Copies of this chain bind each other. A is one copy, B any other.
Amino acid sequence: MCANQILASNDAKMTTEEMDLAGQLASQLRVDSIRCSTQAGSGHPTSSLSAADLMAVLLTGHLRYDWTRPDQATNDHLIFSKGHASPLLYSMYRAVGVVSEDELVNTYRQFGSRLEGHPTPILPWVDVATGSLGQGLPDAVGVCLAGKYLDKLPYHAWVLCGDSELAEGSIWEALDKASYYQLGNLTAIVDVNRLGQDGPTELQWEMDRYAQRVTAFGARALVIDGHDVSAIDAALTEARSDPDRPTVVLARTIKGKGVKEVEDKNGWHGKALPPEMADRAIAALGGRSDLQVTTSSPDAGTPATTRDPDAAVTLPTWEVGEKVATRAAFGAAITALAARPEVVVLDGEVGNSTHAGEFQDVCPERFFEMFISEQQLVASAVGLSVRGYVPFASSFAAFLIARPFDFIRMAGISEVNIRLVGTHAGVEIGQDGPSQMALEDIAAMRAVHTSVVLYPSDATSTAALVRSMADTDGISYLRATRGSYPVIYGSDEQFPIGGCKIHRAGTSDVVALIGAGVTLHECLAAAAELATAGIAARVIDLYSIKPLDRSTLIDTARLTGGRLVTVEDHYPQGGLGSAVLEALADTDLPPLHVKLLAVQGLPTSGQPAELLDAAGISARHIVTAAKDLLGA
């Protein structure tokens, strides 16, 4: 190996006194990690013990953080990508004085406690929920993009990673983007303790092979003994030294370090020490202590990018009847939103198809190309949200939702605010075939905590909803269509999230056709055809699928004698039709008769109209379903 550095103790920057303090702190962190997990009867003490020296040195000599002001813009970020080492993290919080001994020891993992089994941002010092491995580092890339390119502040992100999680591809997506964007403000500290949950890791202590990978992906690899305080100090000092290269500290450690009975032993992952063993271990570690550490405070500073949520945004407008793709409307709307300096756009190398690229044309400084790595695409959005930005991430819906679904799930748990725009949804895309067709995204996204699911049918509503998304908390998802369809709404129309639009309403309507996106157009065509047969059908544009307008649905079902046809360019399970059924599950309505039209079977290539028809969701099928309900 040529590229990685092995640091020796004489590179250390801390004073001897500081190093002594770090050593004492490490013992306390170990003792506290054991105490809280043994008291809880579960948790991951051995995974905490291996990293205690690393974190003691970080806290004593390198982290810049004002613990009384977690919202201070210049604070460093500390992210435990190995979230199971929460005993260590919470012990650090005790050491800096923001968590009491009582809270730590007596509430960890208990119902109602802030100190959950894996960290969540219910704690003000936690940026993102972790515990699904391989996500903390990708999230930190988003934080560091903000730091370097938007805030332009000197804060640093320190990420504690496990060695097992280096098997996740997302780690390499993260390092790749960190080096591409020259994120010298990012340091991953990898606790290479050789043992996973279930036996040795793939590479065990082959530090050179880890270093080779890290270097190949464009980061600096610093290999150290993770229990040598001065070597750690030297590495963390070095980590801040290059403004343009991310650093990965590869720390060789021993799982369970400090407790001889479990050191480097398999079978102790995720197990609290039994009380007697804990007592022996605590005694051997020097007993309980109450060391308090004062970390360096960061310099004052404010982000270079000033938020201006009230900035004037002039949305594009279209003539009713004009044919426009909703993805094009997204591109135009997001470009208009560039007027708000907190809006950031992230692309998955398809900006020319999603129209996100139009934002880049007017605002390249707030456009980040993530190439084809959708996990990192979402993780970057999460990190930008942590820093208070308003990120929109877009790609084809099939890839945007399915590929990073675990990242979206965790973003829900983090309760961050991100916006996802997925284009080319459904069979409507045509010739590219089923691999490119999102047909399960509505089901998946509806089930995510904090999610909002939008599916507009025309350009006007798309633009209005894109603007609303910027001010919507949680994870908002807008589903857009490939093809061009007539604009339905005038530019003064309002589209509240949770609303819907009614078309062709009459007091004698006997059936309602409920669609969204491309199927709304099919519903309108079907209603027109039904009218020629003397059947009065109203059409509901359910552009907001979650939340949805339950009261209008109830009124509609009452009016039409419970006859509803739902139509969606999506598989039959869990989508728009299910959302309608869930809303009407417990009412005092007369019997409901709901025909759920959705994509049947595996679609193929073909023209959009052919595929909509073959899937059973074209106007012809809607007419038949409505007539069936009426016995006509």
Which A residues are within 8 Å of any B CB, using their own CB? Answer: 40, 42-43, 83, 109-113, 116-118, 120, 122, 129-134, 164-165, 167-173, 176, 180, 196-199, 201-202, 209, 212-213, 215-218, 347, 349-353, 357, 369, 371-376, 398-399, 402-403, 405-406, 409-410, 412-413, 415, 431-436, 439-440, 443-444, 446-449, 546, 570-575, 577-579, 581-582, 585-596, 601-602, 604-607, 610-611, 614, 629
Q: Which of B180, B198, B607 contacts A351 (CB 8 A)?
A: B198
Query: Closest B-chain residue to A375, C-beta based?
Result: B169
Are B449 and A117 in contact (CB-based, < 8 A)?
no
Q: Which of B112, B197, B353, B587 contacts A606 (CB 8 A)?
A: B112
Q: Which of B111, B403, B572 contacts A604 (CB 8 A)?
A: B111
Are A602 and B413 in contact (CB-based, < 8 A)?
yes
Q: Which residues of B contact A590 (CB under 8 A)?
A: 591
User: In whole angstroms, how far apart are the Cα atoms of A582 and B582 in the complex?
Assistant: 9
Q: Which residues of B contact A83 (CB under 8 A)?
A: 435
Q: Which residues of B contact A571 (CB under 8 A)?
A: 447-449
Known: A216-B213, A409-B440, A582-B578. A373 touches B446 (CB 8 A): no
Query: Closest B-chain residue to A131, C-beta based?
Result: B435
Are B444 and A352 in contact (CB-based, < 8 A)?
no
User: In whole angstroms, how far apart are the Cα atoms of A610 and B223 in the complex?
Assistant: 45
Q: What is the count of identical protomers in the complex? A: 2
Q: Which of B129, B164, B353, B372 contacts A434 (CB 8 A)?
A: B129
Given contacts A112-B606, A443-B573, A444-B444, 4 further A-B pairs with CB under 8 A are: A131-B432, A198-B347, A405-B406, A581-B581
User: In whole angstroms, how far apart are the Cα atoms of A176 and B203 in the complex?
Assistant: 10
Are A611 and B111 in contact (CB-based, < 8 A)?
yes
Write the nearest CB–CB distance from A623 to chain B, whole angstroms: 16
Q: Which residues of B contact A589 (CB under 8 A)?
A: 591
Write the nearest CB–CB distance from A193 to chain B, whole angstroms: 14
User: In whole angstroms, how far apart are the Cα atoms of A604 and B413 in the complex?
Assistant: 10
Q: Which residues of B contact A604 (CB under 8 A)?
A: 111-113, 116, 120, 122
Are A581 and B585 in contact (CB-based, < 8 A)?
yes
User: In whole angstroms, how far apart are the Cα atoms of A168 and B347 in the complex?
Assistant: 14
Scoring A171, A213, A577, A614 by chain B CB atoms within 10 A of each residue's CB, the highest score goes to A213
Q: Which residues of B contact A196 (CB under 8 A)?
A: 349, 371-372
Are A440 and B444 in contact (CB-based, < 8 A)?
yes
Please list 25 pairs of residues, one from A and one from B, whose beta carbons are closer than 8 Å in the complex, sorted by A's number: A112-B604, A112-B606, A116-B605, A117-B432, A120-B434, A129-B435, A131-B436, A132-B436, A134-B372, A164-B371, A167-B176, A167-B373, A168-B373, A169-B170, A196-B349, A212-B216, A216-B217, A374-B406, A405-B406, A405-B444, A412-B602, A413-B435, A443-B573, A448-B571, A585-B592
Q: Which residues of B contact A134 (CB under 8 A)?
A: 372
User: In whole angstroms, how far apart are the Cα atoms of A510 and B412 in the complex?
Assistant: 38
Q: Which residues of B contact A109 (CB under 8 A)?
A: 431, 433, 605-606
Are B216 and A202 in contact (CB-based, < 8 A)?
no
User: In whole angstroms, how far apart are the Cα atoms of A113 and B448 in the complex?
Assistant: 37
User: In whole angstroms, how far apart are the Cα atoms of A575 and B607 in the complex?
Assistant: 33
Q: Which residues of B contact A572 (CB under 8 A)?
A: 582
Known: A406-B403, A444-B405, A447-B440. A202 touches B180 (CB 8 A): yes
Known: A409-B398, A574-B443. A201 touches B111 (CB 8 A): no
